[in-house]
Structure 1
């Protein structure tokens, strides 16, 4: 979700988020950087919480500015609130990164393991790096698990996905191939394809 993080940073000045400008640009960029419906709902809730927190702090800043004079004490209070706004934005960005990694892991193992939640829990997210459409280090960890804990994985041919750990999303949103549609070639394409199937109407 690097795109959303950049938008938030772009529309944040002095610890204050320009919600109108942010929402306008999100509406423009969202179709290009879409995520599956369940992840989108989670992100939407997280964004709403961030906006609520920022709005509350903005109100506090306005109230402080209306009080008697811009004393040194008042300036310190404003600076503290602005720092809290910045911290809230940074936390939101970190949460988005975690959701991105979780989504990438689940897409990569869909249909290939007996227990997706168990297998996903064995992946060390701290060693993964989001690099555009790729999650660096995920392929290596999955291959390591397949060698060390082969019992987690379905026998060759039993899984519904093709060999390899590139995320693929088909018409049913679970990794199954669609009959008539070409498989997406990247994580972004896979996510966008899944969103179209779930939010197309």
Structure 2
């Protein structure tokens, strides 16, 4: 999995405070299959805001220096380039951090929904209709309800009165071994095709 440097780019990583770089150096920052605690989610937001403040302070310093050398055309042009590069770096950093926050929020919500395979269900979501609002994901509840109606086998089911969850009906192959989720899906699709073929054959 990628670390923070790979996620936000080398230039943005270098611009972070030294203690933050050391803290995340060599650490896998994102794991799309694992639950990420709320504390880590909040920490990402805090560090993003700290970095934005640093960029704002840097822009202010550049503006001050530019006023001092405004009669020097070469230096003025150089300062303009630095300000543009600074703004681009900030925008890219913001975009990547928002992507991290989005994935963390989605993963946590799917974990709470008792999804058996988070990555599989994420592939069924329409991300264009989802929006992160604090710790909530607007639009996710409706999409999950629709998926559960059509594919309830993708979610664990709570056994009434036990507080535990069952994974649904056990499906076995010809050798008596329990099939994996992928094998179950393939078997279901095959059965649908065979059923359709039998109906077509009947009406010939």
| TM-score using structure 1 length | 0.43
Larger relative contact order, structure 1 or 2 (CA cutoff 8 Å, min sep 6): 1
Larger of the two Rg values belongs to structure: 2
Q: Structure 2 length normalisation: TM-score?
A: 0.43
